Structure 1
């Protein structure tokens, strides 16, 4: 059976961990792309780096993880940098975020056509995401699109709107309803240690979180989204996809960064 082809569009960054003094590669979109590749998908990543050494490190690490980076563009400016402090309970505090050239990246027409050939498209942080989705819908109206709606705007033309309870002002049910009324077919709200809630307007699903001793929650939401997409492409069932997402998100809390990058974390992940 051929592997599912997933296009992931959006940001990348260098994650600088202040408590340990190490730099790792990350970013909402790139975290999800790598996690999807780890789950067996054929992943193409569309984003931008600066013409600098951090940008070259982004490319090298994504390639090591099996992500196709042929469509990554180099722009004048700097690669994004995020400084993170991990708290004793495994949660993280973003001390500073310099989005660099990712703040200006929008796929051009040639990239848009390549993206439209995928089986699924996922959007991370992306400027003018609403216009991008409309352009993509005009080319491929049946193409399923998901989006991290905590970092990109709008709900139109979304198969799945991913939200975070930490980023909404009221209840998860109200947040899901807004996404559905805005045009999403399914709203999925992650709730950290309280699990996940999902609704399509007719029914709803709720799964608990897996009990773990978290090391670092960086990228856990991105890993959840990758797990959901992978699970849904494999089964076509929301409940099974949510379960895969919950397990993947829990796994992401057991190492530092958006995916296993240090030698000891790689060994642990390969198990």
Structure 2
């Protein structure tokens, strides 16, 4: 079983005539709503691939929360680890103009308020690995602190820190990194975190206790190492339509292959493949028809 622990956000995507500057006005052309959240997107992918999955998170008592829960339930994700409380669910307001430029405003809502005694430890104990991603931490540090404790108690941890956590600095992330099995940053994140080239940064992470580091390199593919072996894995050709969730899709492919006992090189190749197929369609959870076994 693979479970996620991260923010649950409803992405409200506004197609606009322009992204207004200060004191400017524009108008909305169309509105789409999609369940989102980095760890949640990865877990949605794994569930689509037939992996037993669960999630640890929090939603409010609003329609947004009901939509987020319903999406997981329809995918077969175990939701007993998702706390329902009074308040606002997380929302990401994404403004996209005709040229594809984006501006994003995030309202974390109740995401930042997960106390450790609200965490379903039965899910933690049953999971082979807990996949963690960042919280915004604007409404408190409870969720971040709970992740630190879960990392210490989990059977395994995969960690995609994202910029919100990278910007907190290495010292604050050390308690999680020391308990991380698989670290899944992109190149910018790992170089900012360790202030060195990504390959050297990978070795520093390995020395800290991380078992596997897979760095997402975008159009260049990915790099993966366990401290003994290293591979630069070429990307698959793709015709991008929407790159939203590409990193989360890589994580889903990588963890799927890891869960099936594949080599780290095969894991990275599967991650590349799943990401390449996802970006050819609209939506961060559009996994229908993607078969990770087709990565070769």
The TM-score with structure 1 as length reference comes to 0.85
Whether 2:192 is the aligned partner of 1:180: answer: no
Taking a change above 3 Å as real, the CA distance of residues 64 and 247 of structure 1, as seen in their structure-2 partners, is same
What is the DSSP-based 3-state SS (H/G/I as helix, E as strand, rest coil) of the residue aligned with 2:12? strand
Given candidates 105, 115, 123, the residue that maps to 2:114 is 105
Give yes or no for contact 2:80–2:120 (8 Å, CA) kept in 1: no
**1:186 positional shift:** 1.3
1:147 is aligned to 2:154: no
**1:25 aligned partner:** 35
Report the CA distance between 1:223 and its aligned residue: 1.1
In structure 2, C-alpha distance between the alignment counterparts of 1:158 and 1:138, rounded to whole Å: 9
Q: Deviations over 1:176-212 (max 9, x none)?
A: 2332233211111101111111122222111122121
**C-alpha contact 1:133 1:157 (8 A) present in aligned 2:** no
Does the 8 A contact of 1:187 with 1:199 survive in 2? Answer: yes
How far apart are residue 85 of structure 1 and its match?
A: 4.1
Q: 1:166 aligns with which of 188, 213, 230?
A: 188
CA distance in 1, matches of 2:12, 2:200: 35
Q: Name the Cα RMSD after superposition.
A: 2.6
Deviations 1:125-153, CA, capped at 9 Å, x for gaps: 2456775465446545xx22111122543
State how far apart, in whole Å, the 2-side matches of 1:214 and 1:84 are.
19
Query: Which residue number in structure 2 is paired with residue 241 of structure 1?
Result: 267
Distance 1:226 1:219 in 2: 10
Deviation at 1:79, TM superposition (A): 1.0
Distance 1:138 1:184, change over 3 A: closer
1:153-196 per-residue CA deviation (whole Å, 9 max, x = no partner) reads 34111110111113334532133233223321111110111111
User: For residues 234-253 of structure 1, what are the alpha-carbon distances to aligned partners after superposition, in whole Å with 9 as ceiling and x for unaligned?
Assistant: 13411111111111111221
Q: Which residue of 1 aligns with 2:178?
A: 156
How many residues are matched?
A: 258
Q: 1: distance between equivalents of 2:151 and 2:271?
A: 26
Aligned to 2:231: 205
Q: Does residue 240 of structure 2 align to residue 214 of structure 1?
A: yes
Pick closer, same or farther for the CA change 1:256–1:131 going to 2, 3 Å.
same
Relative to structure 1, the CA distance from residue 85 to residue 179 in structure 2 (aligned partners, 3 Å threshold; closer, same or farther) is: farther
| Partner SS state of residue 260, structure 2 | helix
Distance 1:200 1:131, change over 3 A: farther
Return structure 1 stretches of 4+ with deviation > 3 angstroms.
85-90, 126-140, 151-154
Task: For 1:135 and 1:26, locate their aligned partners in 2 and report how far apart those are by CA, in whole Å.
Answer: 24
How does 1:123-138 map onto structure 2 within 5 Å? 123-126=132-135, 131-132=145-146, 135-136=149-150
Alignment of 1:67 with 2:93, yes or no, is: no
Q: Give 1:14's aligned residue.
A: 10
Shift of the 148–21 alpha-carbon distance from structure 1 to 2, 3 Å rule, reads same
Displacement of 1:93 in angstroms is 3.4
TM-score, normalised on structure 2? 0.78
Unpaired segments of 5 or more residues in structure 1? none
